Amino acid sequence: EAGVAQSPRYKIIEKRQSVAFWCNPISGHATLYWYQQILGQGPKLLIQFQNNGVVDDSQLPKDRFSAERLKGVDSTLKIQPAKLEDSAVYLCASSLDSRYEQYFGPGTRLTVT
């Protein structure tokens, strides 16, 4: 069974630029999550999708972050414009349903200079 795929693995941008991350969840997983992990901290949930609907985006900085999950499969997370404090690893995870264990992708390490 293929795991959660993410791309790119690494990205370096300057502040005020835009960036997008892509996630392909495990086949058949209805729930998809985006987390932000800042160095020295645990993952923090940014947004949770159930199929193609948003379940929780209470911690998503909506003035600069956006996410979509078209057709309930792949998802894209965008930051526009980026700030220095957005430097972090962005993790995508999926689960069969919200009550089941989450499977994480390898993450995208973003550095904003």
Strand duo 53-56 + 108-112: pairing: unpaired
Select the residue interacting with other proteins from 16, 44, 62, 83 (CB under 8 A).
44
Q: How far is CA 96 from the centre of its chain?
A: 17
Binding to other proteins by residue 42, rule CB under 8 A? Answer: yes
Select the residue interacting with other proteins from 2, 27, 41, 63 (CB under 8 A).
41
C-alpha 113/C-alpha 50 separation (Å) is 34
Residue of 113, 70, 112 lying closest to 90 (CA atoms): 112
Binding to other proteins by residue 15, rule CB under 8 A? Answer: no
Task: State which of positions 84-103 bind other proteins (CB under 8 A).
Answer: 91, 93, 98-99, 101-103
Binding to other proteins by residue 105, rule CB under 8 A? Answer: yes
Select the residue interacting with other proteins from 61, 72, 81, 106 (CB under 8 A).
106
- Residue pair 35/90 in contact (Cβ under 8 Å)? The answer is yes
- Residue pair 20/7 in contact (Cβ under 8 Å)? The answer is no
- Residue ranges in contact with other proteins by CB under 8 A: 4, 40-45, 48, 55-56, 91, 93, 98-99, 101-107
